[in-house]
Every structure is written in C-alpha cells, then in structure tokens.
Structure 1
Amino acid sequence: MQMFLVGGAVRDSLLGLPVQDRDWVVVGATPKSLMDKGFQPVGKDFPVFLDPVTHEEVALARTERKTGSGYHGFQFHTDPDVTLQQDLARRDLTINAMARADDGSLIDPYGGQRDLEARLLRHVSPAFAEDPVRILRLARFSARFSDFSVAPETLALMRDMVVAGEADALVAERVWQEIARGLMERRPSRMIEVLRASGALARIAPEVDRLFGVPQPEAHHPEIDTGVHLLLVLDECARVDAPLPVRYAALCHDLGKGATPEAEWPRHIKHEARGTHLAAALSQRWRVPSDCRELAELVAREHTHVHQSLDFSADARLRLMERCDALRRPERFAQLLLACECDARGRAGLQERAYPQRAALLEDLRAVQAVDQAAISAAALAAGKKGPAIGAEIQAARRAALQATR
C-alpha cells in the first residue's frame, strides 16, 4: 500500500501558495485493509476515508466510466491494481493531476508543472467532457488564478460540451456552489468571462449574458457596455473584500438593463423593477441562500435611489430606510450601501471616485436609531394619545433627527 499527496495541495505548493487542504490517494489497498488500520469510511459515491491520525481525507485510487448525463452519470471502479497514473488521468486539469510520494518526489504524468509555468489551464484528457461541473470549476480557477489563460483546445472542448447539452444537465446546487466560490476569488470577472466564452453563461444565467453589448449613457458609464460594467463592479467587490451577499448582489444589480427594448437604449427607464424580478428568478433557479437572495433583490430595486440620496429630503431618506427595513436589518442596509459603492466605482477610470452617499446614509441610520421610541410612546400615552398619533410623533422625531444630519 502506497499513499500519495494529490491535487490542489501539490499545485499550490509548487506555486508557493499556502496549502489549505491536503487530499491523499492510496494505491494497492482495499476498503477492508484501510478500515483494519483504523481509517473511517465517509464517502457515499466511492470509498473515501478519514485518516485516524490526521483526519485528512484519503481516497482509494479509482477509475470512472460515463454511464449517463450530468455529473451523477458515472460508475467508479476501485481495486488494488488501479495505478496512480490511472487515478490522475480522471482529474480535470493538468495542474490538478500531480502527486507527491513519501520521499517528496513529484509524479507529473500529464505536464501539470509545465502548464503551471506557462500559466495555462488545460484539460487532462477528453474525459473532461463527461462532467459538466468541470466547466464551472475551470471558470472558478480562472477567477482564482487570474493570470492563467485557458488552453484553446480546452475552451473548444467546453464549447462542444455546451452545444451537446451537457451544461443543461447541471443541477442548481452545484451551479450555486461553484458560482459562489468563484465570486469570492481574487478576480471574479474572469469566471464570468470564461463562462461567456464557452457559451455556458447563456445556458445557466441568460439574464447575465444578455448584459453584454447593451449600451449605457456614457456620461455615467465611460465603459458604456453594461456587461463590461458588471465585470468592473465584481472586481471592485473583490478589491474591498466584500462578503458573498454583496458580491452576488453586484452580479444581479443591473439585470433589468438586459431586458430594456433596444429602441430605448442607452436609457434604461424602470430597469430597477425589471431587475428585481430577474434577480428573484435567478436566485430561485440557483436555489441561492436567503441572505444573498434578499440583498440581491434589494440592491436591484434601490441602488439608483441610494446613488441619488444626497439630494433627498429628510422625508425621502426616511422612506428609503423604511423600504430597506434598515432599522430592523441594519447589517443588511450596510451591505446594500457597500454594494452601491462598488457599483459607483466599477466604472472605467472611476475606481477611486468618492462615494459620500454611503457614509451619509450610515450617519442617517445612526441618527434614526438614536431616537428614543419608548420615551416618545410613553409621553404620548400619558397625554392620552393612541396608536396612529403615537406613530406620527415617532415619525416626526425621526424626520427631525434626519434634518439635523445635513
């Protein structure tokens, strides 16, 4: 029995990056022989075990055979005679198909180290085409390793997969899992670019794909193209280390512009309402978690109002906060403002522009939060006032607090 370190740990160590997780493959073993040594089985689809000492995952070397559509359509074969090279052959990219032996020697049968040096994402074998999730994974790796390019033959293979309908077999949970991870990488725009180049974006997110080629007023958007603007906004989110809900909201914030009739270009009147519905539909299709879904709809609906808020009256600012449920959900309101700031700065040449709206609205929120609602209610009750009258006094106090902030 021999054990080898495989996959991302080998890749990242060669790149000089911190190794987060270590995965192992064992050759010449059976499930029984591993369990006899204290390894605990955890795999559902194929034999994976936890090392009794390190608690790291150890998988039996295996081969696989395509038996149906999608990423579930595989039959796995594990046997003591399966070699390490056969196991590595089933992996997606050459940079993920390397291993290290106990003595530290590198096993690289498919040129992974060469492709690392060339900054190239290349598939290991034609078997790449059997698993549509690999399209998403490669796009995510493009966002992580933003200076890597996709090998032309790999991109051609991905396009063939999309034409063959493999992307249509992707299930919502896996799409969201990979998209969410890609959005949190150092350059999420690369993920969108690669998905678009492969044709997969039009299949999994046509609402996003439609943004490319749609013009916007140059006075506000020097980059003009709505899709290009989206890419800039996503990378601005990464630059400020925004959390996932903000990044997903950024992905969805302008979806309504893709539904504007061409006769109305480059203006996009009422795109906020259209975008809110489209964001909700995309979130439902991908089964997006509620924190991301709710913020995406909120940003789609309110981002232009936040941009204009410096000119709002106290009444208008109070209505904005009420629509956003800012008093009950102040953390989400803060995320809304961060997403709007990324939107404002995600424009060609305007990445360093000031965005005072965010600080001003946060100050407004603090002023409204400081209003002593309980004291106002008690005084009004003592004066014989009831429900609506008490509510009116609280609102008047909040407006007064907002008037004092500007």
Structure 2
Amino acid sequence: MKTYVVGGAVRDELLGLPVKDHDHVVVGATPEQMVRQGFRAVGKDFPVFLHPVTHEEYALARTERKTAPGYKGFVFHTAPDVTLEQDLVRRDLTINAIARAEDGTLTDPFDGRGDIERRVFRHVSDAFAEDPVRILRVARFAARYTDFTVAPETNALMRRMVDEGEVDALVPERVWQELSRGLMEKQPSRMLQVLRDCGALARIVPELDRLWGVPQPEQWHPEIDTGIHLEQVVDYAAGQGYDLPVRFAALLHDLGKGITPAEKWPAHHGHEGLGAALVKEVCARLKVPTECRDLAVLAAREHGNVTRALELRCNTIVKLFERGDAFRKPARFLQLLQVAESDARGREGRTVSFRDAPFPQREHLETALGAARAVNAGEIAQACAERPERIPEMVRAARVRAVREALARQDESDEDPSDGEG
C-alpha cells in the first residue's frame, strides 16, 4: 500500500503557488484495508475515504470506462493491482497528472512538468474526450493561470467534442458550477475566450456567444465590439474583487445587443428591456441561484439609467429606486452600481480608454438613496390615517424632496471655492 499526493496540490506547488487542499491516491489497497486503518468511506461512484485526522480525501487508484454520453456515463474499476500510471492516464491535463510520493519523489509519466514550464494546457490522452466537463475545467483554468495557453491539439479535441454533441449532454447545474467558479478567477475573459475558440460557448450560452462581432458606437465604446466590451467589463469587476452576483450580472448586462437587427447597428436602442428578458431565459436554463439571477435581471434592465443618473430628475431617481426595490434591498442596489461602474470602465480601444474616467453616478445615486431611505414612511402613514390611499403618493413626494435637498447640498459642496485653496 503506497500513498501519493496528486493533482492540483502538486501542480500549484511546482508553480510556486499556495496549496489549499491535498488529494491523495492510494495504490495497492482494498476498501476493507482503508476502513481498518480508520478511514471513513464517502465515495458514491468509486471508493473515496476521509483521513481520520486530517479529513483529506484519499481515493483508491482506479481505471474507468465510458458507457454513456455526458460526464456521468462511466464505470469505474478499483483493485490493488491498478497502478499509479493507470490512474494518472485517466486525468484531464498533463499538469494535473503528476504524483508526489511520501519521500518527495515525483512520478510524471506525461511530462506535466515540461508543460508547466511551457505554460501549456495539454490533455493526457484521448480519454479526455469522454468527459465534457473537462472543456469547462480547461476554460476555468485559463481564467486562473493567465499565462497558460491551450495546446492546439487539445483545442482541436475540444472542438471535436463540441461537434459530436458531448457538450449538449452537460447538466445545467454542472455548467453553472464551472462558469461561476471561472467568474471568480483572476481573469474571467480568458474562460470566455477558451469556450469560444472550441465552439462550446455557442452551445451552452448562445445568447452570450452572439455578442462578438456586434458593433457599438465608437464614441462611447472605443473597443467597438460588444463581445470585447463584455470581456473588459467582467475583468474589471474581477479586478475590483466584486462578489459573484456582481460578476455574473456584468457578464450578462448587454445580452439585448445580441438581437439588435444588423441594419440598426451600431445603435442599440431598447436593448435593456430585451436583455432583461434574455437574462431570465439564461438563468432559468442554467438554474442560476436567485441572488445572482435577480441582480443580473436588474442590471440588464437598469444599467443604462444608472449611467444617465446625472441627467435624471429627482422624481425619476426615486422611481428607479422603486423599480429596483432599493428601499427593501439597498445592498443589492449598491451592487447594481458596481455593475454599472464596471460597464462604464470596461471600454478600452487602441487609443482611448475609459478605465480611469470619473464615474460620479455612483456617488450621486448613493447620496440620493441614503436621503430617500431616511424618510420616515411610518410617520407619513400615521399623518394620512384618514386617507390611506394617499400614503404612497405622500411617501414618494417626501422622498423626492429629500433627494432634491441632498443632491443640492452635494452640488454646493462640490462647488465650494474654498476647497483646495488656502
């Protein structure tokens, strides 16, 4: 019985990165032997055990055979005579098929260390093609390891998998799991690029894929291409460390531009409403969690109004708060402002960039929302007890007044001639 550390822990150690979790492969053991040594069995499809002290995972070396489409169609075989090399050959990428023995010796039958030095994602064997989730994993790794590229032969294999319909067998929950994890990586745009290069994005989120090649007005979008704009927006959100709902909303905020008739390009009037409907369809299909879905729909519908905030009348601003449910869910409205700022800054062309341009709309609406939420609706309701039908009208009027006064004070403060002078 021999134990090896495998996969991500070895890979990240060789890359000089922090190692969070350790996965282990056990060669030459039976499930009964593992249990006798105090390990607890947890695997459903094949024998996996938790260490009695560290609670890290230990899997018996195994082989597998494809029996049906999709990522669940496998039969696994474990036995004491399954070798380490037989276990490693079933892994996805060469950089993940390196094992470290207890004495530190590395077993690297597929030159994973060479591909780490070359910064290449390369599949171990044609068995890669049997699991479509691996396409999503490669894309996610590209977002994390931003100086790696996909080997041409691996991209060709992934494209063949797409053409043969393997990607169509993915269940929505697994697609969402991998997409959401990729969005939380360092550079999510690289995940999108890998998925587009092999054709997978057009199969799993076609509403997103058709944005590339759609032009926008160069005056406001020096990057011109809507797909490139999308990449820049989601990367900006990632660079700011925003949470998953914000990054997901940034990803889908412009879906409506994908269905603008070509004869109307580069204008996209009304894309916000069209986009909100498409976002709902995508979220329903991928079974997106409610928190992410609701912010994405809100952002698709309202990001243009946030961008125009400085031009909006106070009454219109209060209506924006009402539509966005900002009085009950102020934190979500502030997330909307993060999406809109990402949208405004994700606009970089060859000679013009809006990345560091001012975005006063955020402070403008934060000030307005704070003032509107400070209005005591309960007092107004009591004052209107004899005419309760007037309560909504009176509350809104008070909120509009509060917003007007707060923004006026803000303008006076911004224009104070004593600022910066001594």
Q: TM-score range by the shorter chain?
A: over 0.9
- State how far apart, in whole Å, the 2-side matches of 1:77 and 1:391 are: 67
CA–CA separation in structure 1 for the residues paired with 2:198 and 2:384: 65
Q: Give the match for residue 285 of structure 2.
A: 285
State the Cα distance separating 1:36 from its structure 2 match.
0.9
Are positions 1:25 and 2:3 aligned together?
no
Does residue 353 in structure 1 map to residue 357 in structure 2?
yes
Are the equivalent residues in 1 in contact too, given 2:381–2:388 (CA < 8 A)?
A: no
Whether 2:378 is the aligned partner of 1:369: answer no
Is the contact made by 2:121 and 2:150 (CA closer than 8 Å) also made in structure 1? yes
State the partner residue of 1:300. Answer: 300
Aligned to 1:243: 243
Q: Partner of 1:224 in structure 2?
A: 224
2:62 aligned residue:
62
Letter in 1 for 2:388: G
Matches within 5 A, 1:182-261: 182-261=182-261
The alignment's TM-score, normalised by the length of structure 2, stands at: 0.94
1:389 aligned to 2:390? Answer: yes
d(CA) in 2 for partners of 1:377, 1:169: 56
Q: How does 1:122-141 map to 2 (within 5 A)?
A: 122-141=122-141
CA distance in 2, matches of 1:380, 1:199: 61
Q: Distance in 2 between matches of 1:191 and 1:232?
A: 13
Q: Does 1:329 align with 2:333?
A: no
User: Unaligned 5+ residue runs, structure 2?
Assistant: 408-422
Aligned to 2:308, what secondary structure does the other structure show?
Answer: helix
Letter in 1 for 2:284: Q
| Contact 2:89 2:124 survives alignment (8 Å) | yes
* C-alpha RMSD of the superposition: 0.8
Query: What's 1:112 paired with?
Result: 112
8 A contact 2:347–2:355 mirrored in 1 = yes
CA distance in 2: counterparts of 1:370 and 1:264, whole angstroms: 44
Q: Deviations over 1:81-134 (max 9, x none)?
A: 001111011000011111110101111111111111111100001110110000
Letter aligned with residue 394 of structure 2:
E
Q: Distance in 2 between matches of 1:124 and 1:232?
A: 32
Paired position in structure 2 for 1:402: 403
Give structure 1 stretches of 5+ with no counterpart.
none
1:404 partner SS: helix
Q: Deviations over 1:174-210 (max 9, x none)?
A: 1000000000000000000000000001100110110
For the residue of structure 2 that corresponds to 1:91, the secondary structure is coil
1:26 is paired with a residue whose SS is: strand
How far apart are residue 171 of structure 1 and its match?
A: 0.7
Secondary structure of residue in 2 paired with 1:143: helix
Percent identical pairs in the alignment equals: 59
Q: Does 1:272 align with 2:272?
A: yes
The answer as to whether partners of 2:92 and 2:134 remain within 8 angstroms in 1 is yes
Which secondary structure does the structure 2 equivalent of 1:63 belong to?
A: strand
Q: Which residue of 1 aligns with 2:76?
A: 76
TM-superposed CA distance for 1:392, in Å, is: 2.4
CA distance in 2, matches of 1:228, 1:152: 23
Moved over 4 A (4+): none
Deviation at 1:374, TM superposition (A): 1.9
Amino acid at match of 1:353: A
Q: Aligned with 1:168: secondary structure?
A: helix
User: How many Å apart are 1:236 and its aligned residue?
Assistant: 0.3
Q: Secondary structure at the match of 1:104?
A: coil
The alpha carbon displacement at 1:369 in A equals 1.1
Matches within 5 A, 1:31-180: 31-180=31-180
Check the 8 A contact 2:257/2:271 in 1, yes or no. yes
Instruction: Give distance in 1, aligned partners of 2:219 and 2:238.
Output: 25
Shift of 1:319: 0.3
Report the Cα distance in structure 1 between the residues aligned to 2:268 and 2:382, rounded to whole angstroms: 48
Tell me how many residue pairs correspond in the alignment.
Answer: 403
Pairwise CA distance, 1:53:
1.2
**After superposition, what is the alpha-carbon deviation per residue over 1:121-154, rounded to whole angstroms, capped at 9, x for unaligned?**
0000111011000000000000000110000000
State the shift of 1:375 in Å: 2.2
Distance 1:154 1:388 in 2: 66
Map Cα deviations across residues 256-284 of structure 1 (whole Å, 9 max, x no partner): 00001111111111111111111111111
| CA pair 390-284 structure 1, distance change in 2 beyond 3 A | closer
2:316, 2:394 → 1: CA distance?
Answer: 17
| TM-score (normalizing by structure 1) | 0.98
C-alpha displacement of 1:359: 1.3
Deviations 1:312-362 (A, max 9, x none): 111000000000000001111011110000000001011111111111111
Query: Which amino acid letter does the alignment assign opposite residue 368 of structure 2?
Result: D
Q: Distance in 2 between matches of 1:207 and 1:313?
A: 34
Which letter maps to 2:232? L
Q: Which amino acid aligns with 2:86?
A: Q
